Structure 1
């Protein structure tokens, strides 16, 4: 199932996306995907069973918004692709490198990534598989970890590289407003039984910049969930941004940073396409 948050006729609703159609859930069923996740698997099954009773509109008639608006945690993972380590000429990490992004950085498909050049002039792109936790997870084993996944989405872990290297930690550089594009929807875990076999790519103004596979991950989705859950409780609706492959702008020769008016197109197999433009606000 593809589940999205859409704006239709000035109303924001949850919808089930099937090909070019969206089945709109009535507000009295649920007003957010977060609420659906918290209500559990049986509630999701009931939604699907009642789908034929919902209003159906064309996908072209709605505006897609970020599928999650205010998760408790957005957990980022650094250096989690072997090819990304190779492009930097650094060893693969022995343990996952964990950082945080603030939920105030979230925007949706079609929204503009914005920044102030007085703050940063080195804005970079990172296509990432986003993992949405479906139920409370603490001290989870690797073998059972995927049972805790609600679904998957695309995340652009936008990064202000000058701030990142100057601060010598990553939170500020990766949490500026609009620096977490997400979407276009969530694909439930049953449609992606193996998250380690997905092609992912980035195009900047129509030019392919990143082109890899989640098979390149140093730590798998299951390993990340298990590792994180040993340290702190993962809650329903939490997001794990699982790292990016090679091809980011900062390590190109010469470096390529985002500019005003740029267009980004990120695609992950079995999920879809996330598109955003870039806008310098000062």
Structure 2
């Protein structure tokens, strides 16, 4: 008998507390009916092997019960959220585009020369280097249909759609070969960036400032769901698409990653401990605003989709007081 495919999320109604639920064929089923001790998705992740077995049993036996997902508010799937570990410069073509857009490289070089230089250096890092990882703030996570608030501080707010990897097991010093055993599932995360806040001209020797550039409230729209890893046969064979007001801006494949989820988890776990509920976001493909010369404005609508993981729809609003 084949297993019923399901996804896991956090849902609520007006005036009611959020609850963990699975989604089967567009209908929501409260997981507390089978796991009453686990009041949150985080609690389910604390004993993921047991939870997954029980959730699969629930998915296999439901038949048309539940309620349509459209009747609920959908939050980011993991509540309360864990830590965020984010890979930067992890898609080959994205790195090349950023290099050209910001003219990073030999002064006076042509665009073709910058592309060639970036490609050569990127391939060398993929073969012999390490991932570049920074840490995000869980409080900046928002839901898949929540508004994105463009802060008054800084300019050139940009999108970066990414595959999110949700950890389901305490992990330290894991090998690349065993790293995916730590994965509970996958989700969609749009890692927004205020480009003008990235550099620190007042302290140039410190380079980039990811804390202020990437951690504004709502800057990590996440979800709609956590799709268990067993339903994602190959995380390096997924299509990533972001539309801005209906126009495709990003369309790439996770196969363009320099370092895949297994390598990232192994690398991160060599320096710190990953906990159940933590999210590793894995970098973004080509096509962000820096490349297009078009950044986010109030009223913009972003639709973000990854194969088999669902679609976000977020509307941008400005925090600036107009007048």
TM-score by length of 1: 0.94
Moved more, 181-190 or 23-32: 23-32
Q: What does residue 47 of structure 1 align with?
A: 55
Larger radius of gyration: 2
Moved more, 50-59 or 28-37: 50-59
Shift of 1:43: 2.5
Q: In the alignment, is the contact (CA less than 8 A) between 1:159 and 1:174 conserved in 2? A: yes
Name the residue aligned to 1:135.
Answer: 169
Structure 1 position 22 matched with structure 2 position 28 = yes
1:247 is matched with which residue: 287, 298, 304? 287
Q: Give the counterpart of 1:88 among 79, 95, 98.
A: 98
**SS at the partner of 1:276?**
strand
Question: Which of 133, 155, 160 is the aligned partner of 2:194?
Answer: 160
Give the corresponding residue for 2:39. Answer: 31
Unaligned 5+ runs, structure 2: 1-5, 100-117, 201-206
Is 1:69–1:103's contact at 8 Å kept on the other side of the alignment?
no
Distance 1:279 1:9 in 2: 23
**Distance in 1 of aligned mates of 2:32 and 2:272:** 35
Deviations 1:193-233 (A, max 9, x none): 21000000100000000000000000011111111111111
SS at 2:199's partner residue? helix
1:56 counterpart (48, 66, 74): 66
Answer whether contact 1:99 1:171 (CA < 8 A) is retained. Answer: no
In the comparison of the two structures, how many residue pairs are matched?
A: 279
Contact 1:69 1:106 in 2 (8 A): no
1:235 equivalenced with 2:288 (yes/no): no
Given that 2:86 and 2:282 are in contact with CA atoms closer than 8 Å, whether structure 1 keeps it comes out as yes
State the match for 1:274 in structure 2.
Answer: 312
1:120 lines up with 2:168 in the alignment = no
> Relative to 1, partners in 2 of residues 1:72 and 1:184: Cα closer, same or farther, differing over 3 Å?
closer
Q: Which residue of 2 aligns with 1:195?
A: 235
1:101 corresponds to: 136
Match of 2:302, SS? strand
Query: Gapped runs of 5+ residues in structure 1?
Result: none
The residue aligned with 1:150 is 184
Cα deviation 1:86-134 (Å, max 9, x = unaligned) = 21233324221111110110100110110333x0221000000000011
More strand by share: 1
Cα pair 1:74 1:239 within 8 Å, conserved:
yes
Matches of 1:237 and 1:246 in 2, distance apart? Answer: 28
Q: Which is helix-richer, 1 or 2?
A: 2
**Alpha-carbon distance, 1:9 to partner:** 5.1
